């Protein structure tokens, strides 16, 4: 699976987790004894999470962990095994576990999925520009980064494979 596709999927899955947790929070808050203060605190946390995520994701370049991951990618001439579903489950199982546990806890305390929603919002907004930054690096260097299948408990590893180099035309029509 291409790394840019993995990043895009991770952002969308964080947003989906935030949506699911927010839905559970709203329904659980409507059926529990939670008062107006509870709803205001959770709404304030969601607003703060949006601001934090927007602040963390404001840069148009890769963040330092991703830059280190790209720099440590080994070159290869063959692509790694392509099983995107298994790879996403393998790498994003903590997000799935977090979401399921927060939804289950929401049956007893609506505050828990409400707090989890904020963290998922932060994750989605903080990573929203990473895919574009990695794409820019791939286009500049004429390579493609792929996620290498590894154990779910080991750090993610990338491989660098030849990609399509994009020729840019300058103002006078010559390639640069």
pLDDT beneath 70, residues of the chain: 31-35, 164-176
User: Tokens at residue 69, please?
Assistant: 């991951």
DSSP code per residue over 63-80: -HHHHHHHHTPEE-SSPP
Nearest-angstrom CA–CA distance, 99 and 39: 20
Global pTM reads 0.84
pLDDT at 32: 58
Task: Report, in this order, helix, strand and coil percent for the chain, each rounded to 5.
Answer: 60, 10, 30
Q: Where are the domains of the chain?
A: 3-72+91-141
3-class SS of residue 147: strand
DSSP code per residue over the chain: -BHHHHHHHHHHHHHHHHHHHHHHHHHHHHHSS--HHHHHHHHHHHHHHHHHHHHHT--SS--HHHHHHHHTPEE-SSPPP--HHHHHHHHHHHHHHHHHHHHHHHTT-THHHHHHHHHHHHHHHHTTTHHHHHHHHHHHHTEEEEEEP--TTSPPEEEEEE-PPPPPB-TTS-B-
pLDDT at 16: 97
Task: Mention every residue, 6+ apart, whose C-beta is less than 8 A from residue 67.
Answer: 61
């Amino acid at each position: 699976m291409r790394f840019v596709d993995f990043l895009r999927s991770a952002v969308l899955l964080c947003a989906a987790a935030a949506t699911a947790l927010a839905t559970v929070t709203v329904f659980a808050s409507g059926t529990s004894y939670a008062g107006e203060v509870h709803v205001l605190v959770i709404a304030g946390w969601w607003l703060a999470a949006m601001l934090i995520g927007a602040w963390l994701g404001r840069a148009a370049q890769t963040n330092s962990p991703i830059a280190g991951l790209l720099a440590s990618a080994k070159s290869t001439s063959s692509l790694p095994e392509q099983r995107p579903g298994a790879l996403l489950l393998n790498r994003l199982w903590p997000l799935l576990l977090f979401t399921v546990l927060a939804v289950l806890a929401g049956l007893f305390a609506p505050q828990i999925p409400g707090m989890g929603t904020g963290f998922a919002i932060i994750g989605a907004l903080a990573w929203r520009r990473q895919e574009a930054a990695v794409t820019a690096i791939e286009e500049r260097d004429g390579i493609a980064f792929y996620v290498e299948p590894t154990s779910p408990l080991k750090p993610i590893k990338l491989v660098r494979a030849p990609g399509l180099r994009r020729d840019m035309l300058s103002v006078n029509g010559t390639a640069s």
